[in-house]
Amino acid sequence: MNVNQLNQTLVNRNISVIDPVSGQLHRTSIRLEEIEWAALRDICASENMSINEFCCKVDQDKNRREHSRTSRIRSAILEHYLKRNGAQRLDS
């Protein structure tokens, strides 16, 4: 699959995150572009963590301001690559 094909395919997948009320893991789903799923797999491989672990970490980050879980995950993916490529400030 080339980059253009990856960029045009919205995919719904299940993830497990910690429920803030019960503290228990629960299953939910998020929709990301296939290229975002590929980036997420790449990040998780480089950080030696599962997709669920990454999503839990992002979901529980109190500093994140995005309104939806999917937006938080998308932003975290982008932020990872910006930091990796030397972005100095992410809030401007």
Residues 56 and 18: beta-carbon distance below 8 Å: yes
Phi-psi region of 18 (alpha: psi -120 to 50; beta: other; left: phi over 0): beta
d(CA 33, CA 25): 24
- Domain residue extents for the chain: 3-84
The residues of the chain scoring below 70 in pLDDT are: 1-8, 88-92
The pTM assigned to this predicted structure is: 0.82
Question: Beta-carbon neighbour count of residue 41 at 10 Å?
Answer: 12
User: 53-67, pLDDT tens digit by residue?
Assistant: 999 999 999 999 999
DSSP letter at 88 equals: S
